[in-house]
Amino acid sequence: MAETAKGPSPKQEITSGYCFFKGEIMPLADANVNITTHALNYGTGCFEGIRAYWNGEQGQLYMLKALEHYQRLLFSCRILKIQLPYTAEELVDWTAKVLAKNEYREDVYIRPLAFKGSQVIKVTLAGLRDELAIFTVPMGDYVSTSGLSAVVSNWQRISDNMIPSRAKVSGAYINPALATDAAVADGYDEAIMLSSDGQVSEASAANLFIVRNGALITTPITSDILEGITRRGIVQLAEHLQIPVEIRPIDRTELYIADEVFLAGTGAQIASITSIDRRPVGDGTLGAVTAKLQEVYYRAVRGMDDRYLDWVTPVYK
């Protein structure tokens, strides 16, 4: 039976191990920045979240869709005028080296971070020094995957013309942090965010799918979402499972009448939402389509399904 990620909470402090910084692998304890750093002051960085899953039977650690994540990082960098002297393929290789140096035999979360490293006051993007770091940490589930309560947030999702949603911009995460914080303070697990036109955009750090009459529906990339890599993978899984997929705007009230709703993201994985605004989704339990997708997904990510071996890159040779 395939499992969701196993390991410590995402709230643990990250203090040990090796990372990539200043063009080399070094102890995490030595990878520090000055308080004057532009990205620390203005949020002028962009990042990725990648998972690597341990397959105990094979003695192998698999990075999940690593190349796609680095291609997206380079797109984010283009939007922020960050120039990295690496190709996406080279970044995958460096990540494998960092994971191997840490000798992980468990599930791991990987955080590449590209940022404006200049120690200057001027608010701008051009003419600043760019830096790249990659750090890693053992991590289990980011949220429960079997039944979350969500609220439609009164915090609006940032729009493309404010801070581009399709770039994973460091400073932009204030937006989902405010939404999640308010949701949790009100007794919910998760926030669903609407875009400025009042339609569903995505969740706080994951894309959103609903199921209606057996069809999978998710919002288009023009709904101010991050163009999710898990989202794309789920569309592929659905096609193989012959589940119809519709990519179209979703109204708020469709959330109330959907048969199933789930989150899709590298951190969240495939996480069922069983209530929204205190209304049960469907019958208020994990739905059949979500459960089927989870079953295939959690095998694929550990390199246990030959059909999806191109999703994973082995770390150990």
* 168 catalytic per annotation: yes
Pairwise CA distance, residues 145 & 256, whole Å: 20
Q: Are 236 and 297 in contact (CB under 8 A)?
A: no
49 contributes a contact to ligand PLP by CB under 6 A: yes
Closer to ligand PLP at the Cβ: 101 or 232?
A: 232
17 contributes a contact to ligand PLP by CB under 6 A: no
Q: At what angle do helices 229-240 and 66-79 cross, to 10 degrees?
A: 140
Closer to ligand PLP at the Cβ: 108 or 128?
A: 108
Closer to ligand PLP at the Cβ: 117 or 176?
A: 176
Which residues face 260 on adjacent strands?
211
| Piece of the chain touching ligand PLP by CB under 6 A; list 140-148, 221-229, 278-286, 305-313 | 221-229
Residues 267-306 within binding reach of ligand PLP (CB under 6 A): 267
Alpha helices in 62-173 (DSSP H): 66-79, 88-101
Tokens 């939007």 appear where?
79
Q: Are 164 and 46 in contact (CB under 8 A)?
A: no
Closer to ligand PLP at the Cβ: 25 or 152?
A: 152
Residues 50-79 within binding reach of ligand PLP (CB under 6 A): none
229 contributes a contact to ligand PLP by CB under 6 A: yes
Q: Which segments within 187-268 are labelled E, that is strand? A: 190-194, 200-203, 207-212, 215-218, 245-247, 260-265
Three-state SS for 135? strand
Supply the minimum distance, in Å, between the C-beta of residue 219 and ligand PLP: 11
Three-state SS for 24? strand
Residue type present at position 133 = A
Residues 143-182 within binding reach of ligand PLP (CB under 6 A): 176
Supply the minimum distance, in Å, between the C-beta of residue 128 and ligand PLP: 24
226 contributes a contact to ligand PLP by CB under 6 A: yes
228 contributes a contact to ligand PLP by CB under 6 A: yes
Contact positions toward ligand PLP, by CB under 6 A?
Answer: 49, 176, 202, 205-207, 226, 228-231, 265-267
Active-site residues, by number, are 168
